[in-house]
Structure 1
Amino acid sequence: MRTLTGVAASSGASVAPAWLYAAADFEMPQGEVDDRGAEVEKLREAVEAVGRALEEKAALASGELAEVLDAQAMMARDPELADSAERAIQDQGTPAAKAISDAGESYAEILAASESQYMAARAEDIRDVCKRIARRAVGAPETSVADLSKPSIIVATELPPADVASLDPELVQGIATQEGSRTSHTAIVARALRIPAVVAVKGLKAAASKNVPIAVDGDEGQIHIEPDDDTKKRLEGKAAAKAARREELKARVPEGLAATKDGHRVEVGANIGAVAELEAALEEGAEGVGLLRTELLYIGHAKAPDEDEQRDVYGTMTELLGDRRLVVRTFDFGADKPVPFLDIDAEENPALGVRGIRLARLHPDLITTQLRAIVRTAVGGRRVGVMAPMVATAEEADWFVEQVEAAGGREAGVEVGAMVEVPAAVLVAGDLAERLDFLSIGTNDLTQYLHAADRQQGALSYLQDPFSPALLRAVQRICFEAHDQAWVGVCGEAAGDPAWALIAVGLGVTELSVGSDSLLEVRVALAEATLDDCRTAAEEAVGAPDPAAARRVAAGLLA
């Protein structure tokens, strides 16, 4: 048995023969074309054909996969991308296939340079779409995946979503790729379909052979080539235990709205970035959306989405939610998350730079368009909230409220809030609460800023513990300052830890927004503890000298 380590991308475990995926290759044309007009027409035909093919695949797919394919179809038809390629043909005589590849690479390089893994992962989406257009332009055949005929583990350098759509999901037991990241679309689709997946596995293609047994451990991020009997039994047992745990939680979740054992109401919503993620969250019992990340609407596009495009997405979500609340976070990109349509200067420390509300104030046209789309979504009585990221001062909160009101938000009943993710916002939480309807604590960024410790630095991971005294005391202060003025929620990853969630409720948090895979755990934990239990434990945890001591206190609530 040989074990390779990568990045855990989708939870679960499976054992099956390897099925090797290889993208069809083709020769990229060089030189200068004779008939530039004909070459432009060839490009346009290829763009239309690929866009149509992706839309057809999307129509046959469902959930996250359908949404990803729709997004790729939009990329294929992006007018700015096509214009860039056409100029290269007209001005330089560049062959259509090379022109579209070069144009796509220019946009991909911008995204790949991002410090955000999610943004960087979109670079491969653009490259894949442009490669499909280029292949079509030269008449090269598409990659064939028709010979997958038995349950298998898909092994690939990278697996484009469009090719995932051609696979029989009943036969895909797991996915292992040599490239990619946890935020690649392959990983996102795998999680939505509950297929175990490990990505960024160095040496995978050289180690794997066709039909050789492979074990995928999507929790530990490991691939076992020709696993021994003990490994097979262990992973099969893990998969069975996970399925049994889910059924147990479903049986323990009380009917009705989430609340503590003694009836104290706590709303439990979901963190999402797309419609398919909302669908998955609703299946798990989400009572709303506490954080809609809107960056997906902007990533990979040569121009910003217009008001109607955004309204369509938000409207689809409110239709699914019915009378449940949708909280939208306005765009949060900057030098660390660049987008092709903004010329953002590089920064030495982008995490502390022009991003979130700071960028919005420099580009009022972008925030106005987004807010108008959000307000239109609320018309008709839908429950909608909007919050700004990276708010640090009361003056910024005032400015944001003014923008929402100018877009018609107050008349439409839109709640206005702010992310609390920088220490300054903690210290002026009372001032913010006077001006806003709610505060949502982003524990991921707040933890790193409180400790001046980059969360991407593995050596500093001990300073990222959500049970740290500094973070717990910050949450306590925010709840105290906002009491009777604004409701307080948590949308960071910490809220998905059932023990931490109970401490937060004891400190005064009334809304928790978590990933869909944590919804059942959190709802069950709430239902089996009283508010007094939570308050008593919270008081002790806040006074703990270190994270380990606070964690022990919290664990007692789950005993």
Structure 2
Amino acid sequence: MSGMIADTITLTAPFAGWLAPLDAVPDAVFAERMMGEGFAIDPTEGVLRAPAAGEVLSVPESAHAVTLRLDNGAELLLHIGLDTVALGGEGFDAKVFAGQRVAAGDVLIAFDLDAVAVSAKALITPVVVANDGYVLRIEQPGRLVDAGAPVAVVHRTPAKAGAQPHQVRESGAAVESTSELGPGLRGGTEERAERTVAVSAVHGIHARPAARIAATLRPFVAEVTLATAEDSANARSSVALLGLGVGTGSTVRIVGVGPDARAAVDAVAELILSGLGEAASAPALPVVRTHGPVTASPGLAIGQALQLRAADQAVPDQGGGIADERVALDTALSVVAGGLAGTRGPAAEIAEAHRALLDDPELRRVAGEGIAAGHSAAFAWRSATVRAAEAIRATGDALLIERIADLKDLERQVIAALLGTSGPDIPALRPHTILIAEDLLPSQFLSLDTANLAGICTAAGGPTSHVAILAASAGIPMLVAAGDGVLAIGDGTPLILDADAAILAVEPSPEALAEASERLSVTRERRAREAAAAHEPCRMADGTRIEIFANLGSVADAAAAIAAGAEGCGLLRTEFLFLDRDTAPDEEEQRETYSRIAATLGDRPLIVRTLDIGGDKPVPYLPMAGEDNPALGLRGVRLSLARPDLMRLQLGAILRGVPAGQCRIMLPMVADLGDYRPVRALLDEVRGELDIADRVQLGVMIETPAAAMLAGQIAREADFLSIGTNDLTQYTLAADRGNAAVSQRIDAMHPAVLRLVREVGKGAKDAGRWAGMCGGLASDPLAAPILIGLGITELSATPAAIPGLKAVVRTLDMQTCAALAEKACDAASAAEVRTLAREALA
């Protein structure tokens, strides 16, 4: 650094290793820049050096980190590895002390590289600027560097230039979100808190509750333990919690140590006392019998047997070096976790539980020990999952044992990622296949051709397994716990799988086949009637017209919607064009896609939602600053208004691709008319530039409580209103739908949400506009009478739901719907609303 340029300092590599951006750190606190901007190095030596001259601000007693104040005032945190505070200083030797002056290259901490590697989550070391007013730029990440090589520059922003270096903060953004820094970096005193509570969740602490406990602790820094009379476990580890074997009625002791221990312990205690997100009561589970199958998903199937025998892939025992194998495992875990991102529908909660397992500190620790012992990453990961499965099996709890399938699933997926293969082969299914297996994993089910899958029977497994949830959602009859005898059934053997009666008939008699065929025929005839009538306009029994549209996300979706009887598109999610790519689509690519979808719909209305990215749908070519709460941040129309160039381009593509008479445009994430008016003006401007004479409808997607309460005001200017229940529900109930700890609270049938729907229906009617719904609730036939009674005249559903939805709507009359809707708004809970709806439809 030149002595004349005090504001800018060059940082050198604190040790030799692989230089990477913070995105490569498998810890959200660092990767999402909660601590600040910086870089990371995966070290190949056990000596941490000063990357620049400065003063040592603090070194924790555990000696796993150090904070420096550089000569330009930047406070630099160097954090050796992840989860290393848990080592309690074992393997670390601090060579400096607080207040000491150091020069670039001076040794700060010496550590035992191999010993730390065995116990740490990862050795990759983040280096971040922990105070505001500074910018750090990394130089050429993705390369091996020697200790002392220039790797980054940090400089003060203009507002900061000339300011005096300030004292280290007692608390702040630099440390408030991480659980690893230790008391020496927090500036506060350690706090200990403890509570004892009873577990009332109907199935105790199994996979999903364990994931919710871990998720609840993410905002806290304290170390938290759950203990029974016999054992204890890290509360951040789903696997360790499962190993406790905590059932309903058990008592657990929650112990926290750290600066926010009381708040962390209280948060976990309240989660447990509230039922861990599980239903307060549940129907009695079928008794698992050794001599016969158990129903996991109801229904009837006639078909031929096909055995699924998926063998594990062979893995090498010996690794190619500790550092390489560790990087390989981290990469594979990230790949599998990335594949779970964005999961929707019934698989979303399963994906959340699987992500928690992938990030489980106990699994990672055991796998790290295997790698440090010289094994390959694949061998070590398999050993870790097997050990965890054995611990769960040792509890003897049948419900917990069902979760072993999730561990096996992730074992196979991670190994496939490590080996660069697609994993065990899934056989091609012929029509009317009844699949038989020892057990079936969620990823295997999702790979099956469900069009040819008539039913499933497994020798093992349980009725509450995750694959059972998926099968029930897909309408596939499934039996579990049928015993090893089913594995001897030959491929092609005729079967009747009666999941309603928990019977698997092998080589059934002609009479049994005839009876089962008759039952299937009745069901098929009903569905055929619904499908045939689905192509007629939908009218209620009293003649009231209700439009049934479809939600679309591709050209293929449009074709499926027309085949299902959709009367138009109530929501085209245009972000499918923008995601999973390195650059934004140009205007011509967008125009061509919109045009194909419009042509597929014929002359049916097409409502195109403008770009809805940001929040949980970021894209790499639109870098945005990290947000503490992306769901409330720069997303939807807010991002479009911040980037009018993108908005103008998309509006031009829509207007050129969709005929004006067919085209309707909808804005997401609107709060009030201040979000609507600028886009209306821009749309009219672009329309004039394209010489389009006809006015194009511009509507608003009601997703915020603010927009719902102002619906009448908005409807006086907007051409239509359409409710997005997914976001509206999470905002209304203050429950993040991506947070496993609270997502179970989200139910769009909650009376508070329905009252907002009533405001939208009334506001639209008073303004002479129509109000629709394109959120998930619109696909639920149970909700249809209530929504119609609240003033909704258009329902945009998934294509598969359209025939059944139309069949229900045709049985309704407006007077009955209005009365039911008022009762629903006055109900005390979503459960009460659903009971009212079921009684009304019955």
Measured against the shorter chain, the TM-score band is: 0.5 to 0.7
Instruction: Give the whole-Å Cα distance in 1 for the aligned partners of 2:466 and 2:652.
Output: 35
Q: Give matches, 1:47-446, under 5 Å.
A: 151=433, 153=435, 172-173=453-454, 196=476, 242-250=523-531, 253=533, 256-378=536-658, 380-408=659-687, 411=692, 413-446=695-728
Alpha-carbon separation, structure 2, partners of 1:365 and 1:175 = 52
Equivalents in 2 of 1:548, 1:27: separation in Å? 49
- Quote the offset at 1:114 in angstroms: 5.8
Q: Deviations over 1:385-432 (max 9, x none)?
A: 121211112111112323333432893543211111111111221232
8 Å contact from structure 1 (residues 419, 442) kept in 2: yes
Contact 2:548 2:806 in 1 (8 A): yes
SS in 1 for 2:619: coil
Larger strand share, 1 or 2:
2
Q: Which runs of 5+ in 1 are unaligned?
A: 32-101
Q: Is residue 207–residue 225 contact of structure 1 (8 Å, CA) maintained in 2?
A: no
Deviation at residue 474 of structure 1 after TM alignment = 0.9
Overall identity of the aligned pairs, in %: 33
Matches of 2:307 and 2:457, distance apart in 1: 10
User: Which whole-Å CA distance do the structure 1 matches of 2:684 and 2:309 have between them?
Assistant: 52
Looking at CA atoms only, which structure, 1 or 2, has the larger radius of gyration?
2
Map of 2:112 onto structure 1: none
CA distance change for structure 1 residues 528 and 424 in 2, over 3 Å: closer, same or farther? same
Deviation at residue 115 of structure 1 after TM alignment: 8.1
- Cα distance change, pair 145–543 in 1 and its aligned pair in 2 (3 A): closer
Q: TM-score, normalised by structure 1?
A: 0.64
Partners of 1:245 and 1:553 lie apart in 2 by 25
> Is the CA contact 1:335–1:344 (under 8 Å) kept in the aligned structure 2?
no
Structure 1 counterpart of 2:699, which letter?
G
Q: Secondary structure at the match of 1:509?
A: coil
Helix, strand or coil at the partner of 2:716: helix
CA–CA distance in 2 between the matches of 1:304 and 1:12? 45
Q: Measured at CA, do residues 154 and 478 of structure 1 come closer, stay the same or move farther in structure 2, by a change above 3 Å?
A: same
Q: How does 1:407-486 map to 2 (within 5 A)?
A: 407-408=686-687, 411=692, 413-455=695-737, 457=740, 461-466=744-749, 468-483=750-765, 484-486=767-769
Deviations 1:222-244 (A, max 9, x none): xx998999xx9999999666434
SS of residue paired to 1:328: strand
Q: Which segment drifts farther, 450-459 or 290-299?
A: 450-459
Aligned positions, number: 462
Contact (CA 8 Å) 1:299, 1:339: kept in 2 or not?
yes
Task: Structure 2: state its 5+ residue gaps.
Answer: 1-291, 321-329, 356-412
Query: CA 1:210/1:298 → structure 2, altered by over 3 Å: closer, same or farther?
Result: farther
Change (3 A) 1:273 1:238: farther
Match of 1:536 among 805, 812, 819: 819
| More helix by percentage | 1
Checking the alignment, whether the CA contact within 8 Å between 1:368 and 1:403 is kept in structure 2 is: yes
Q: Distance in 2 between matches of 1:461 and 1:237?
A: 39
1:498 alignment partner AA: P
* SS of structure 2 residue aligned to 1:258: coil
Task: Go from structure 1 to structure 2 and tell me whether the alpha carbon gap of 1:145 and 1:381 turns closer, same or farther (over 3 Å shift).
Answer: same
RMSD: 5.4
Q: 1:481: how far off?
A: 1.9
User: What is residue 126 of structure 2 aligned with on the other side?
Assistant: none
Shift, 1:113, TM fit: 5.7
CA shift for structure 1 position 536: 3.2
Q: 1:367 to 1:13 in 2, by over 3 A?
A: farther
**Closer, same or farther: CA 235–385 of 1 in aligned 2, 3 Å:** farther
Q: Are the structure 2 counterparts of residues 158 and 460 from structure 1 closer, same or farther at C-alpha, using a change threshold of 3 Å?
A: closer
Tell whether the 8 Å contact from 2:547 to 2:793 is kept in structure 1 after alignment: yes
> What residue in structure 1 maps to residue 781 of structure 2?
498
The 1:354–1:105 alpha-carbon spacing in structure 2 relative to 1, beyond 3 Å, is farther
CA distance in 1, matches of 2:795, 2:676: 22
Residue type at the aligned position of 2:668: P
Q: TM-score by structure 2 length?
A: 0.44
Contact 2:455 2:477 in 1 (8 A): yes
CA deviation string 1:477-499 (max 9, x = no partner):
11222223432101122222334
**In structure 2, do the counterparts of structure 1 residues 381 and 528 end up closer, same or farther at CA, with 3 Å as the change threshold?**
same
Q: Which moved more, 1:317-326 or 1:535-544?
A: 535-544
1:231-286 CA distance string (max 9 Å, x none):
x99999996664343134347x4874212222222211112222333322222221
Determine the C-alpha separation between the residues in 1 that align with 2:420 and 2:828: 61
Alpha-carbon separation, structure 1, partners of 2:649 and 2:335: 23
> Over residues 51-78 of structure 1, what are the superposed CA-to-partner deviations in whole Å (9 max), with x where a residue is unaligned?
xxxxxxxxxxxxxxxxxxxxxxxxxxxx
Distance 2:616 2:429 in 1: 41
In 2: Cα distance, 1:361 partner to 1:441 partner: 21
Amino acid at match of 1:390: M
In 1, the alpha carbon distance for the partners of 2:665 and 2:654 equals 8
Q: Which has the higher contact order (CA 8 A, sep 6+)?
A: 1
Structure 1 residue identity aligned to 2:601: L
Question: Would the alpha carbon gap of residues 527 and 157 (structure 1) be closer, same or farther in structure 2, given more than 3 Å must change?
Answer: closer
Structure 1 contact 347–353 (Cα < 8 Å) conserved: yes
Write the letter of the residue equivalent to 1:476.
Answer: R
Contact 2:442–2:467 (8 Å) recurs in 1: no
Q: Which amino acid aligns with 2:698?
A: V
SS of residue paired to 1:292: strand
**Residue 479 of structure 1 aligns to a residue in which SS?**
helix
Partners in 1 of 2:626 and 2:523 — Cα distance?
A: 44
